[in-house]
Amino acid sequence: MNIRNIAIIAHVDHGKTTLVDRILHTAKIFRDNQETGELLMDSNDLERERGITIFSKNAAVTYNGTKINVIDTPGHSDFGGEVERVLKMADGVILLVDAFEGPMPQTRFVLQKALQLNLKPIVVINKVDKPNCRPDEVHDAVFELFFNLDATEEQLNFPTFYGSGKQGWFNDTLEPREDILPLMDGILKYVPEPEVKEGALQMQITSLDYSSFLGRIAVGKVTRGSIRDNQPIALVQADGSIKRSRVKELYVFEGMGKRKVQEVLAGDLCAVVGLEDFNIGDTICDVETPEALPVIHVDEPTMSMTFSINTSPFFGKDGKFVTSRHLRDRLMKETEKNLALRVEDTDSADSFMVYGRGILHLGVLVETMRREGYELTVGQPQVLVKEIDGQKCEPYENLVVDVPEEFSGKVIDLVTQRKGEMLIMESKGDMQHLEFEIPSRGLIGLRSQMLTNTAGEAIMAHNFIDYKPWKGPIPGRNNGVLISKNQAPTTGYSIDKLQDRGSFFVDPGEDVYVGQIIAEHIKPGDLIVNATEGKKLTNMRASGSDAATNIAPKIQMSLEECMEYIQEDECIEVTPKSIRLRKVLLNEEDRKRAAKQAGNG
């Protein structure tokens, strides 16, 4: 049977998952009357809520007698670890580019990985139905990007398709039509069949699946030979050790699910059940002649955060898993499938150092754990500093901001305060397109300030470039915070009196504890306040006037915003029901003592 393995790569929000929907519908894997909904591949709750792909997934369709394995990948640079390893399963890539935005930083990152693996590219310029779109200019920009990334002659000669995933058509010209058949024909024509080498079985495990019924499932592409049900195999691990095992069940991908088979030949993707203790990157080989494939290399993490058990007075109220053993087991389990994540023990048995690709990467992990019933405290994200040739170096990122012209001055001002350097400034329609090189530290907390200063109009994206010399101190948050003086529910009466001191993160009637951060101060410096005092009722008549207080609604911050907001002496208490900001040391005397020691030290 003919096979094509294709990965879909693009910047976040350029339409990958919608394109996969169209491919699934075109191949008629659903009944005509079946309710399917949108964004079929984003099956995880978090992905649906945020509208982004976090985990790469596989689907398979049959078109004109050819089986097409489609791999949907995440577009966010924080999940680059997912993209790097699944590209190993593909023989070609569809590079999707927005007809208005053109190639973005993330497009460059994933395309570079694909070209290094020598994959055959097909360029699809999506969203040509948008007003102000500029498909011809974008096509030239994509060609320039290929050229800058040292693409070969053959890769530079890429076919281009235009269309709109939303309207459901793609064509090799700008002429709209009813379907995406030209693109499907293009996949069969331009993507090469898998290269099959002669010899005994070789298959690299590139991702993990889990079923409560079957346990851990190894997923990968058979690069040589064939794999059969009940076959004894050798598992070669990253350190070179060899384990013997046996295949219990074999599945291939079909539609959105899997189908059980007896044998899978080289070139196809498959899922193997029954292996013990395997990791991503291990090679499944023939028992007689075990030969390993090169180990998957994933870029290093650039950020770290301390995860520790919840030590607040409200400990154990919401969560099911609250001990350090629970926390450790869960983090270790995560490192098995999340390749870009590393976990290390610290001096304290209750806390762990977790290294990841960025705030979103770590934030998604915390959010997932919270939904599973874990309680934990997370500290301020720190960038990883390296010493290169005796010089202190830190990670730098390429930051791209598209913003209406009248706000461009404010954006430049904000970024330069944080040690960013402007590289490019050009007009794109009514928008100004700005590109900067900025230390990763400068990005922490930048998004919320940027949105405030541009009335929510700025679109920013960034991705890691390299380690460069340390840029010196970067100013943090300007304002201090208001800290609760006692433990009790807050009252509307007290909050009303304190409103001119700051903006609150809590509503009246919410339980707070000593050392909890309940508001942002309007000035620098922290202030300890009593927000739990009730009104003294002297006579019956005055008791009703309390309802007349006008209290501004509390500021709602997402988990990532909280992570960007906190300073070094603060942390976030995360439980299944709430996210609270607090000082690391809840007692004021302890904080003063620590500040004194730091001053003396």
- In SS3 terms, 202-213 reads as EEEEEEEEEECC
Contact criterion met (CB below 8 Å) for 434 and 421: no
What CA dihedral angle connects 17, 359, 366 and 73, to 10 degrees?
20
Look up residue 270 and give its amino acid. C
Identity of the residue numbered 69: N
Encoding tokens for residue 509? 């009637």
Interatomic CA distance for residues 535 and 93, integer angstroms: 66
Residue with tokens 């007692």: 587
CB 98 within 8 A of CB 428: no
Distance set, CA 24 to CA 38, 54, 67, 86, 175 (Å): 11, 20, 12, 20, 23
Angstrom distance (rounded) from CA 52 to CA 12: 7
Helix, strand, or coil here: 116? helix
129 is in an annotated binding site: yes
> Does 18 carry a binding-site annotation?
yes
Phi-psi group of 62: left, alpha or beta (phi > 0 → left; psi -120 to 50 → alpha; rest → beta):
beta
Q: CA 39 to CA 477: how far, in whole Å?
A: 38
Q: Where do we find the tokens 């539609």?
A: 255
**How far apart, in whole angstroms, are the C-alpha atoms of residue 250 and residue 256?**
16
Amino acid symbol at 131 = P
Of residues 246, 266, 285, the one with CA closest to residue 194: 266
Q: Is 15 annotated as a binding residue?
A: yes
Cβ–Cβ under 8 Å, residues 24 and 61: yes
Task: Tell me which H or E stretch contains 337.
Answer: helix 324-337
Annotated ligand binding at 14? The verdict is yes
End-to-end CA distance of the chain: 71
Asked if 81 and 71 touch (Cβ cutoff 8 Å), the reply is: no
Decide if 308 contacts 219 (C-beta within 8 A). no
- Is position 221 annotated in a ligand binding site? no
Report CA-CA distances (Å) from 188 to 4, 159, 449: 7, 12, 47
3-state secondary structure 396-431: EEEEEEEEEHHHHHHHHHHHHHCCCEEEEEEEECCE
Helix residue spans in 372-522 (DSSP H):
408-417, 440-443, 446-453, 492-498
Give strand pairing partners of 197: 224
In 137-268, beta strands by DSSP E: 160-164, 169-171, 202-211, 215-224, 226-228, 232-236, 242-246, 249-254, 257-261, 263-265
- Establish whether 127 is an annotated binding residue: yes
**Residue 407 bridge partners (DSSP):** none
Is 106 within 8 Å of 407 (Cβ atoms)?
Answer: no
β-bridge pairing 2-10 and 92-98: parallel
Other C-beta atoms lying within 10 Å of the C-beta of residue 561: 16
Annotated binding site for GTP: 13-18, 126-129
Annotated binding site: 13-18, 126-129
